[in-house]
Structure 1
Amino acid sequence: MAVLESGFDFEGPAMFKVQQHFDDDKVNRDQIHSVIRDQFHGEPIKNRIRPGMKIAVAVGSRGIRHIDFIVHTVIDLLHEFGAKPFIVPAMASHGGGEAEGQRKVLGNYGITEETMGAPINASMETIDLGTVDGVPVYFSKTAFESDLIIPVCRIKPHTDFKGPIESGIYKMLCIGLGKHKGASTIHSAGYAAFPTLIPNAGQLIIDNAPVGLAVSVVENSYDEVENVYVIPKELIPTEEPKLLQKAKHLMAKINIDPIDLLIVDELGKNISGEGMDPNVTGRSPVPGVPFEGISTIHRIAVLDLTEETHGNATGIGMADLTTKRCFEKIDLPVTYANVLTAGLFESAKIPVMLENDREVVGVGLKSATLVPPKVARVVRIKNTLHLSEFWVSEIIAKELSDNPKFTVTNDIQPFRFNQDGNFSW
């Protein structure tokens, strides 16, 4: 059966590598260490940590830059204070919703008992803390029974809802530390409830569990750490919304509009909670999410999964096209554990699947626009997290030549495929 009337042969446009320029304020590892240390030794943090305290350091499943170094720094400081820190995975249903799977996720980021010098308690057991907005709030029993809880997280725009508080401290408390049961229960309320449910549930936890402070990262547009903020629990309600606004201002976008075909080399949970960030693509499994400054994209092709996602293909349903090799890497039980917990079935739907990159691009070009493929508006990115350098077709390159936000380089490539039909550049 012919997929395309004229077959998969096409003359693609010449592709130009471009560099996109963003605010590049950041802190390096030495500065990260100093910033965290100074804040831990200052008021009002140091008096919260006493010798002998069993302190739960909550760590999630996101690919935060320098996350292992940040956690190690926190653990070392707690040891200096004479405390007894241990690590609790705060990742809801990720890792297949199982303790060993969550240990493995942490291990992928270099966070093990050996590297951190602290035990990891990955128990999935929860307790019922009460009810908020008609929804039961479950919380990690291990964390609750500690003397102090310190979430280590990133504050950023959420992929599937908008509000004054999105991804960050409150979400880690009520979803990440809610474990599989708590996350499922919160998600059963639906994303429309999240703008109020997440802060209300998170505040219930702060008021009733031994949360002491949070170590929060904001990243810049280059996926680097803009800064680290150590926030005492009483300031979380006022400081998290401020840091969210900063994160939104710093977030990278493609800044090209429209796009006929967006080629995404890789998708994964280490890139975004939705595999490829809807704040970049404008495609969310939740209808009606108001994204700002998003390009009009007619077709999206995803070529592969990241190694770090370990088969979790959450978000693949937001693509129009994918390859057979990408599909064969999908771990369905792991993916389903994630999307069923979130109640976002659209995220796991399989796009049109073709044999290789050549077929995917051919179908994408011929279905996205009525113009010949050679003059189509094509953008090829590695993933939605790294947008400082990518490829654009010639017609876009010409438009960007006078744009101060971009540099069009002399690196030009034709569409080339190897003998397996996959990109060779």
Structure 2
Amino acid sequence: MELPKVRHLPRLVKVRQLFPSNRLEDLGSEVRAKLGALHLQDRVHDGMRVGITVGSRGAGGTLEAVRAIVEEFRALGAEPFLIPAMGSHGGATPEGQVEILRRLGITEASAGAPIDPRMETVVLGEAPNGYQAHYAVSAHEADAVIVLGRTTVHPNLKAGERSDGVASGLLKMVGIGLGKQAGAFSAHHHGLGESVLAVQEVTLSRSNIIAGVSIVENAYRESAHVEVVPPPEFKACDQRQLKLVRTLLGRIPFEELDLLVCSQMGKDVAGSGLDPNVIGFWRIEGGPRVPNFRRIVSLDLTDASLGNAIGLGLNDFVPRRLVEKMDAHNTWMNLLTGANKDGSTLEGYTPIVAESDREAIELALASVMPCDAPRVCHVRDTSRLYEMLISEALLPEAYQLASVEVVGEPQPYRFDEQGRFIWPE
């Protein structure tokens, strides 16, 4: 017996959101100038090995920033190298973390520096809450370390409401990224917010980190601002940068949707695959359904996720092609590393699996019927919200929004012969 599906899909109209478009024209020059202002040449000697952290989020301009740091320290006579700083990502293996960097365009050739992906750690200390400050052996054996990271909101720490204005930034890159799987596990299981805040005392005061480079993106995923600070200023930098982030974040401008469709999800989109700051924390934590997106469908998994489909369970329907890209080990390793006694494993659940993109959307809409004019919004992913497709039912509301520009005419949903969605030109 065939599953209940709608017979007709609503027509879609392309719209653009107008976000602040300030961006750094030359990120590399900014990074080099601000590194120079710290007078690190007074601490760097010929032949010193300097580790540079690189994460898994694919922040705008990451490779440009990496190259700038490499060039700056090579000019000082140092021997820079890269340290994958991504906790348990890539299945918590050296090979997996190197492959994630490759998929983000960062290789030894493109960066101009070797990569040391070892997963072993040393413990630098223990916080009052029991968190053990693991520190990558590759960083520990270096003469100095530069922490490069993106500052933004976080699926657990949100916008820092419960963590003294700190979310995903330099402190988290040290505790979770350079902590590798062991450090990430300890931090999450002893309270992520409290553990990240403890990094300043238990890790930075006992490590060889000499500077942090913090990038903030605009809603177009371009580098908009960068700070370069010494370790004692990491927390203050995280707090400043997070305030800026909150003014630049993209949002879906509709509070009520029958269906949100994302062309892709993944770890380079958000730590939970789909950003709960966009789709609503009630899907993870319960509580008020704000915003109220009744059904969510994701159609694909980003290549940079390396099969890590954490966040799969935040969807109601997915097509089989997404599930077939899932690497169970990589997904569950990340899920269990970030689990804690007060959370759930919901993000690892498998939703209803359809045979195609078309069927996933048809099933999702049928499940919210009766609805003569469904409110549908289709986005590329939850970090790229500057261009969207909306159903005609949302047009009257869109025309009332100063930040939304309607740029197309209503068109039918388009799919190829295999039922895969085609984004209109």
How high is the TM-score relative to the length of structure 1? 0.93
Q: Match of 1:116?
A: 111
1:80 lines up with 2:78 in the alignment: no
1:148-179 CA distance string (max 9 Å, x none): 11111000000122321110111111111111
Q: Match of 1:367?
A: 367
Letter in 2 for 1:212: I
Q: How far apart are the structure 1 equivalents of 2:332 and 2:406?
A: 41
Q: Is the 8 A contact 2:313 2:346 kept in 1?
A: yes
Match 2:376 to one of 371, 375, 378: 378
The runs of 5 or more residues in structure 1 that have no matched partner are none
Give 1:308 deviation, angstroms: 2.2
Q: Return closer, same or farther for 1:258/1:284 CA change in 2, 3 Å cut-off.
A: closer
Q: Return closer, same or farther for 1:106/1:301 CA change in 2, 3 Å cut-off.
A: same
Give 1:423 deviation, angstroms: 2.6
Q: Return closer, same or farther for 1:404/1:73 CA change in 2, 3 Å cut-off.
A: same
Q: Return closer, same or farther for 1:43/1:89 CA change in 2, 3 Å cut-off.
A: closer
Q: Alignment identity in percent? A: 33
Q: Return closer, same or farther for 1:141/1:12 CA change in 2, 3 Å cut-off.
A: same
Q: How far apart are the structure 2 equivalents of 1:248 and 1:415?
A: 33
Match 1:277 to one of 275, 278, 281: 275
1:199 lines up with 2:194 in the alignment: no
Q: Is the 8 A contact 1:260 1:369 kept in 2?
A: no
Q: How far apart are the structure 2 equivalents of 1:9 and 1:237?
A: 51
Q: Return closer, same or farther for 1:330/1:11 CA change in 2, 3 Å cut-off.
A: same
RMSD after superposition: 1.9
1:250-283 CA distance string (max 9 Å, x none): 1111111211100111111111111111111114
Q: Match of 2:351?
A: 351
Q: Match of 1:161?
A: 157
1:151 lines up with 2:147 in the alignment: yes
Q: How far apart are the structure 2 equivalents of 1:109 and 1:313?
A: 17
Q: Match of 1:172?
A: 173
Q: Is the 8 A contact 1:39 1:45 kept in 2?
A: no
Q: Is the 8 A contact 2:92 2:333 kept in 1?
A: yes
Give 1:89 deviation, angstroms: 0.8
1:74-96 CA distance string (max 9 Å, x none): 00000011111111111111111
Q: Match of 1:331?
A: 327
Q: Is the 8 A contact 1:159 1:284 kept in 2?
A: no
Q: How far apart are the structure 2 equivalents of 1:356 and 1:38?
A: 50
Moved more, 168-177 or 359-368: 359-368
Q: Is the 8 A contact 2:167 2:238 kept in 1?
A: no
1:299 lines up with 2:295 in the alignment: yes
Q: Is the 8 A contact 1:283 1:318 kept in 2?
A: no
Give 1:317 deviation, angstroms: 0.8
Letter in 1 for 2:22: D
Q: Match of 1:222?
A: 220
Q: Match of 2:48?
A: 53
Letter in 2 for 1:54: R
1:307-354 CA distance string (max 9 Å, x none): 222211111110011111111111111111111111152211101111
Q: Match of 1:260?
A: 258
1:21 lines up with 2:18 in the alignment: yes
Letter in 2 for 1:188: H
Give 1:288 deviation, angstroms: 5.6
Q: Is the 8 A contact 1:174 1:202 kept in 2?
A: no
Q: Match of 2:413?
A: 415
Letter in 2 for 1:119: P
Q: Match of 2:386?
A: 388
Q: Match of 2:2?
A: 2
Q: Secondary structure at the match of 1:58?
A: strand
Q: Match of 1:311?
A: 307
Q: Return closer, same or farther for 1:289/1:139 CA change in 2, 3 Å cut-off.
A: farther
Q: Match of 1:37?
A: 32
Q: How far apart are the structure 2 equivalents of 1:388 and 1:259?
A: 18
Q: How far apart are the structure 2 equivalents of 1:238 and 1:381?
A: 34
Letter in 2 for 1:184: F
Give 1:45 deviation, angstroms: 4.2
Letter in 2 for 1:161: L
Q: Secondary structure at the match of 2:322?
A: helix
Q: How far apart are the structure 1 equivalents of 2:123 and 2:422?
A: 54
Give 1:296 deviation, angstroms: 1.4
Q: Is the 8 A contact 1:322 1:360 kept in 2?
A: yes
Letter in 2 for 1:206: L
Q: Secondary structure at the match of 2:83?
A: strand
Match 1:208 to one of 198, 206, 209: 206
1:63-78 equivalent positions in 2, closer than 5 A? 63-78=58-73
Task: Give the length in aligned residue pairs.
Answer: 413
Give 1:195 deviation, angstroms: 2.3
Give 1:145 deviation, angstroms: 2.2
